[in-house]
Amino acid sequence: MADDQRSMRDRMLAGDPYIADDPQLAADSTRAQSLTHRYNTMDPTDGAARRALLEELLDAFGPGSEIRPPFHCDYGYRTTVGSRTFANFGLVCLDVARVTIGDDVQLGPRVQLLTATHPVEPGPRRDKWESAEPIVIGDNVWLGGGVIVCPGVTIGANTVVGAGSVVTRDLPADVVAVGSPARVVRSLG
């Protein structure tokens, strides 16, 4: 892994293993922490300033969307939020890989979108190597409170995931899924 001459940021952006405490990545993370701190402590009645800050932080933030504070992310620039999407209190978005959230999505309180992964082997893990896999949340998805979405998962359009579920693998469109790990319990209309 160490023979690659690309920067750790370039490795991360390409989806290859990287070391997270690299100075460039640390600066990017500090920027995101600063912006999310400002967002989380802003006057909730100043909608225009809150929106402008999310537009600065995120790769894209669609019209009519809202994220209630507190909100936490690793980098921000790896996350896209579609139009008319609502995220309730406490969204955690570990956006080391790309996180794509569609239009008309509803995220309950304390949802976690976790793209980061770590080696199972002790040597590379001790050496601080990490990687990540993207998450895609389709249009009109509803994730109940406390749902955890694991690295590499795609959730199809119109799907509902019950509160407290842990989504470890892709879910198709138009289903209800619950549990840990989440499993499909019924199809929708």
Q: How many CB atoms lie under 10 A from the CB of residue 18?
A: 25
| DSSP code, position 68 | P
Q: Could you report how far apart the first and last alpha carbons of the chain are, in Å?
A: 48
| DSSP code, position 133 | -
CA–CA gap between residue 69 and residue 3 (Å, rounded):
41
Active-site annotation holds for 118: yes
All residues at 6 or more sequence positions from 127 whose CB lies less than 8 Å from its CB, including other chains = 19
Exposure string over 95-104, b if 16+ CB within 10 A, otherwise e: bbbbbbbbbb
Q: One of 9, 68, 118, 183 is an active-site residue; which one? A: 118
Active centre residues (catalytic): 118
